[in-house]
Chain A
Amino acid sequence: MRVEPAVASPRTERPYIQFDRVEVRYSELVIGLRGVSFSVNRGEFVFLCGQTGAGKSTVLRCLTREVRHTGGHVWLQGRDLGAVREREVPYLRREMGIVPQDFALLPQKKVWENVGYAMRAVGATRRHVRRAVPELLEKVNIGHRIDAFPHQLSGGEQQRVAIARALINNPSLLLADEPTGNLDPQHSLELMDVLLHLNLRGATILVATHDMAVVEKLNKRVITFAQGEIVADTGGPHV
Chain B
Amino acid sequence: MFDRIEFILGEAFSALRRNTWMTFAAVTTAAIALFLLGGMTMAYLSVSRYANSLSDRLVMRVFVKEGIPRPQVEATAQTMRQIPGVKKVVLIPREAAWKKKQAEMPEITAGLENPLPDAFNVTLSDLKSAPTVATELEKLPVVEKVNRLSEVQDLLASIIALIRGLGLGLGGLMLVTSAVLIYNAIRLTIVARWREMKIMRLVGATRATIITPMLLEGMIQGALGGALAMGLLWGAYSGLGRLVTSLAALGSWPAFPAGTALGILMATGAAYGLLCSLLAVREPRRQGNR
Binding site for B on A (CB under 8 A): 24-27, 64-68, 70, 86-87, 89-94, 98, 100, 104, 106, 108, 117-123, 125-126, 165-166, 168-169
Contacts and interface: CB of A to CB of B under 8 A. Distances in A.
A123 B290 contact: no
A215 B228 CA distance: 60
B3 A93 contact: no
B211 to A, nearest CB: 12
B289 A117 contact: no
Interface in B194-218: 195-196, 198-207, 209-210
B289 A26 contact: yes
B288 A70 contact: yes
Contact of A117 (B4, B199, B207, B287): B199
Given A106-B196, A106-B199, A121 B288 contact: no
A122 B203 contact: yes
A223 B210 CA distance: 35
B199 A126 contact: no
B18 interface: yes
Contacts of B288: 24-26, 67-68, 70
Contacts of A90: 201, 204-207
A116 B289 CA distance: 28
A89 B289 CA distance: 13
10 contacts: A24-B288, A66-B290, A91-B204, A100-B198, A121-B7, A121-B209, A122-B203, A126-B3, A165-B199, A166-B202
Contacts of B210: 121
Nearest to B286: A26
A108 B18 contact: yes
Nearest to B6: A126
Contacts of A24: 288
Interface residues of B, number: 22
B204 A169 contact: yes
A93 B198 contact: no
A206 B96 CA distance: 105
A165 B210 CA distance: 17
A196 to B, nearest CB: 22
Which of B200, B201, B204, B205 has the most chain A CB within a 10 Å cutoff? B204
Contacts of A70: 287-288
Looking at chain B's contact residues, the main secondary structure is helix
A118 B199 contact: yes
Contacts of A87: 206-207
B196 A122 contact: no
Contact of A100 (B3, B202, B209, B290): B202
Given A66-B290, A93-B204, A104 B198 contact: yes
Contacts of B7: 120-121
Contacts of B198: 100, 104
A137 B201 CA distance: 21
Given A121-B199, A125-B3, 19 more contacts: A25-B288, A68-B288, A70-B288, A86-B290, A90-B204, A91-B204, A93-B201, A93-B204, A94-B204, A98-B203, A100-B198, A104-B199, A104-B202, A106-B195, A106-B199, A117-B199, A119-B203, A121-B205, A168-B203
Contacts of A91: 204
A98 B3 contact: no
Contacts of B199: 104, 106, 117-118, 121, 165
Interface string B122-165: 00000000000000000000000000000000000000000000
A98 to B, nearest CB: 5
A97 B4 CA distance: 22
Interface string B1-33: 001100100000000001000000000000000
B3 A94 contact: no
A151 B201 CA distance: 23
B195 to A, nearest CB: 6
B11 to A, nearest CB: 9
A123 B7 CA distance: 9
Which of A26, A90, A123, A125 has the most chain B CB within a 10 Å cutoff? A90
Nearest to B10: A120
Contacts of A66: 289-290
Contacts of B203: 93-94, 98, 118-119, 121-122, 165-166, 168-169
Contacts of A68: 288-290
Contacts of B290: 65-68, 86, 89
Contacts of A106: 195-196, 199
Nearest to A94: B204
A120 B288 CA distance: 29
Closest 3 CB pairs of A and B: A94-B204, A93-B204, A121-B205
Contacts of B287: 26-27, 70
A123 B207 CA distance: 13
Interface in B265-290: 287-290
